[in-house]
Amino acid sequence: MKYHNVYCIGRNYALHAKELGNEVPKSPIVFLKPTHALVPFEGTVPMPAGVGEVHHEAEIVLRVAKAYEPGANVDDLIDRMTLGLDFTLRDVQSELKSKGQPWLAAKGFRHSAPICEWMRFPGAAAIQDVEFQLMKNGETAQRGNARDMIFSLQALVDHLGTNYGLGEGDVIFTGTPAGVGPVADGDALELALEGQTVGACVISMK
């Protein structure tokens, strides 16, 4: 599958915005990752060392099946979903934010967007009842549910499609719930959907 744009939504869960001391947004906060950030959530995933804390952000990830047109329904636009991590160089991001500079260096580095295998998208209504989870070294680090998003999936595709465009192969990271935190060399991470593991990896920071 050839990917095109990798859209990411910031602060789409109120508790996550508050845990980082940020205001709850009134419209979606959008940033991009290069396609080189996308890697499989499996085996060993390398992370930068010596740049401060690297934080995990577990998210529901969507794949766009066709071009957006005004009035399009999210259930017609999205054909696949999965879980993934938006890795963030938190100290780097804090410095960039203090200078009013873009987040690319903190968000767009290689391997910063590992994703599990794609699965069928059940529809926006059904996904409201789906819980996802990140386990770190066997302990729950993050737990989220799409119903807790500030902006619904329909609102996200409308915003992205209207302002930036959406087409086949685009990927959307829909935001992370509370519980973000640092990873360390050798950490074992698992992503689960409804209690079933859908991907696992080990962090390497060397």
Residues of the chain with pLDDT > 90, as a percent, come to: 89
**Residue 22: is its pLDDT beyond 90?**
no
Give mean pLDDT, residues 41-51: 97
Give mean pLDDT, residues 4-14: 93
List beta partners, residue 10.
29
**Residue 17: is its pLDDT beyond 60?**
no
**Residue 149: is its pLDDT beyond 80?**
yes
**Residue 124: is its pLDDT beyond 90?**
yes
Strand order in the sheet with 196-204: 44-46, 196-204, 188-193, 131-136, 139-145
Q: Pick from 12, 7, 2: which is nearest to 164 by CA? A: 7
Q: Tokens for 72? A: 């399009």
Residue range 67-112, pLDDT digits in tens: 999 999 999 999 999 999 999 999 999 999 999 999 999 999 999 9
Give mean pLDDT, residues 141-152: 94
Give mean pLDDT, residues 33-61: 97
